Amino acid sequence: MQFLNQLYALSKRNVILRYKHSVVGFLWGFIKPLIYLLIFIVIFSSQFSSVNNYVLYATSGILFWFFFSNIVSQGVQSIIQSSGIIKSVNVSPILFPLAEVLTELFNLLLALMVYFVVMHWFGIQYTFQLLWILPILFIFSIFSFSIALILAALNVYFRDIGILWNTIQPAIFYLTPIAYTEELIPPRFSYVIKLNPIYYYIKLFRYPLYESKAPDFHIFAVCSIISLVTLMVSLFIFNRLKNQFITAI
Amino acid sequence: MSLLLDLNNVNVRYRTNHAGIHSMKDLLTSFANPFQTTLILKDISFQLQKGQSMGILGRNGSGKSTLLRAIAGIIKPSKGSLKSFGTIAPILALGAGLELELTGYENIQLLLSLYGRKVTKEAINEIASFSELDDATLNQATKCYSSGMLARLTFSISFSHHCDIYIIDEVLAVGDMGFQTKCIDKINELKKQGKSIIFVSHFPDEVVKICDQAILLEKGVLIHKGTSEEVCQHYKELF
C-alpha cells in the first residue's frame, strides 16, 4: 500500500515536472506523434499509395513507439535525476523507473482518446476488438519497463548508457516497420527486423487498431514470453546493482 | 529504559570514484578493478537508549552523514549489525529530497507520500504553519528559496512525523534567530515526550545544550564516546 502511494506521488511529480513551464502542456503527448505523422505523410504516402489507410497504419505504430521510447529515455535518467531523494529518503529505487511507466501510460491514454476520435475520418472501425489493446499494452509496458530498468541501473555507473540510448534510438525506430510496411524490406534482410522485439509488439497493436481483428495468438504468446524473460533478467540485474547506487549518484 | 539503536562493529563501504568511472574511457584506462571500494566507516559500535539524545561530532568528511544514512536505513552496512527498535524520522539535511522545480506545497505532498504518510489537509497545514512561510512563498518553486527558507521547509516536514528517533544534520545554522529558537524549543519538547534525537553539528555548545551523549568520529573511526561535555572537549582539541 505504501509502495503504491509512493509510486503515485512520484508519477504525479513526473507529470507536473514535465509540463511545468509549457504552454500546451499535456497536448504535447498528442502533438509529438502528430508532427512525425505529418512528416511521414509528406515523405512516404505517395510511395505507399498501395497501403490502405496509410494514416491509420502509421499512427498505430508511431503512438506505441513513442510510448516505448519515452519510457526508456525518461527511465534511463530517472535514478540519477532523483539522487536527492535517494540520498535522503529510504525508498526502493525501482519506484523511479516504474513511475516513468505510469506517467507514460497516463500520457498515452490522453493521446489515445484524441486519436480514437480523429481516426474516425481515417477509417478506424469501432469494434470490441479494440479492447485487445489493453492486454497488449500490458505486456508491452512490462517489456518497456524492463529495458528502462536495465539501462537505468547501468546508467548510474556508466553515464554513457544514456547517451548511447539517445544515439541508437533513431536506428531502432527506422529498423521497425512503423512508417513503412514490412514488404518493403528485401527478403534477404527480413531477418533483421525479425530480431527486433519491438516489431512484434507493433504488429500486435495493428491487429485491433488497423485490421480490426483479434491478434494472432502465436505472436501474442511470443510477446508475452519476451516480456516475462526480459522482466526477470532486468530485475536480476537491477537487484544486483541497486545497493551501491547511493555511492555513485 | 529500552534500547532504541544498537550498532555493532558497523562497516560501510563505498565504491571509490577516483575521478568517477562515468565513462567507458575511464573503465578502459583504469586497469585496476573499477569497482574498488573504500571503507568509510570502520567498526562503529554504540547504543542509544530511548529518550537519550546523541550528538555526532567530527571534521568534514569524517563519515558523519554516512553514519546517519546507515542509521536511517538508506545505505546497508557491509559488515556488522545495525538494529533499530523504533521508527526513524527522515534525515533532516539542508534541502534534502526537495525537488527544486516543484513548489513548496507540491514538495510537502511528495515528501509526505514518500515517507509513507497520509497526505491530508491537516498535515499540510501543520507543516506550513510551523515553517512560518506564507502561502505565496509555498506556491513558488523551491529553487527560488533562500537557504534559510529551505531549512524551514525541510525542518518542518521532518518534524511533522511522529517517530522515536529524529535525525538532524546541521540545519540549525542557516535559519534566522527566531526560527532557531523555535527549533530548539521543538527539540526540547520532543525530548520531554521521551523521543530521541541524533544531532550533527559543528558547534560544540549546541551539542552540549541538546544532547547528553556524544560520539566523535575521525576518518571513519569512532575515537571518543561519552557524555557530550567530554566529547566536545576532545572535539575542540582536534583543531
pLDDT tens digits, one per residue of A177-233: 988 888 888 888 888 888 899 999 999 999 999 988 899 999 999 999 999 999 999
Q: Which residue of A has its CA nearest to B169?
A: A88
How many domains would you assign to chain A? 1
Q: Are residues B134 and B16 in the same domain?
A: no
Q: Are residues B152 and B114 in the same domain?
A: yes
Helix runs in chain A, H state only: 2-18, 28-44, 54-81, 83-88, 95-118, 133-157, 160-175, 190-194, 197-209, 217-241, 245-248
Q: What is the pLDDT of residues B3-45, one digit of tens each?
A: 888 888 888 888 765 445 556 666 665 555 556 678 888 899 9
How many whole angstroms separate alpha carbon A101 and alpha carbon B53? 43
B204/B93: higher pLDDT: B204
CA of A242 vs chain B CAs: smallest distance (Å):
10
Strand partners, B83: B6
Listed in order, strand segments (DSSP E) in A51-98 are none
**Chain-chain contact of A88 with B14 (C-beta, under 8 angstroms):** no
The pLDDT of residue A20 is above 70: yes
Nearest by CB to B96, from A17, A87, A90: name it: A87
Parent domain of B140: 96-161
Q: Which of A59-63, A138-142, B23-27, B190-194 is predicted least confidently?
A: B23-27
Instruction: Name the average pLDDT for chain A.
Output: 90
Q: Are residues B123 and B185 in the same domain?
A: no
Q: How big is chain B, counted in residues?
A: 239
CATH number assigned to the domain comprising residue B85: 3.40.50.300
Parent domain of A198: 2-248
The pLDDT of residue B208 is above 80: yes
Mutation to test the A interface, candidates B99, B150, B158, B163, most A Cβ within 10 Å: B99
pLDDT at position B19, please?
Answer: 46
The pLDDT of residue A113 is above 80: yes
The pLDDT of residue A126 is above 50: yes
The letter for the amino acid at B13 is R
**Which of B137, B161, B185 lies at the terminal end of a domain, its last residue?**
B161
Nearest by CB to B15, from A9, A12, A248: name it: A248
Q: How far is CA B99 from CA A1, A13, B166, in A?
A: 23, 9, 22
Q: Are residues B10 and B23 in the same domain?
A: yes
pLDDT at position A102, please?
Answer: 95
Quote the Cα angle for A32-A234-A229, to 5°.
95
Neighbours of B37 (CB within 10 A): 14
Q: Are residues B81 and B168 in the same domain?
A: yes
**Chain-chain contact of B95 with A158 (C-beta, under 8 angstroms):** no
**Which of B139, B161, B183 lies at the terminal end of a domain, its last residue?**
B161
Strands B37-49 and B3-15: antiparallel
**Chain-chain contact of B74 with A159 (C-beta, under 8 angstroms):** no
How many whole angstroms separate alpha carbon B49 and alpha carbon A201? 58
How many domains would you assign to chain B? 2
Of the pLDDT bands very low, low, confident and very high (cuts 50, 70, 90), residue A94 is very high
Classify residue A223 by its DSSP letter. Answer: H
Which residues, including other chains, have CB under 8 Å from residue A40's CB and lie 6 or more apart? A58, A62, A179
Q: Are residues B157 and B167 in the same domain?
A: no
Q: Are residues B112 and B183 in the same domain?
A: no
Nearest by CB to A8, from B72, B75, B113: name it: B113
How many whole angstroms separate alpha carbon A151 and alpha carbon A228? 17
Q: Are residues B177 and B67 in the same domain?
A: yes
Q: Are residues B9 and B75 in the same domain?
A: yes
**Which of B161, B180, B202 lies at the terminal end of a domain, its last residue?**
B161
**Interchain contact B121–A (C-beta under 8 A):** no
- Its pTM surpasses 0.90: no
Q: Are residues B62 and B116 in the same domain?
A: no
Contact assessment for residue B174 and residue B148, using Cβ atoms and an 8 Å cutoff:
yes
Residue A1 grid coordinates: 500500500
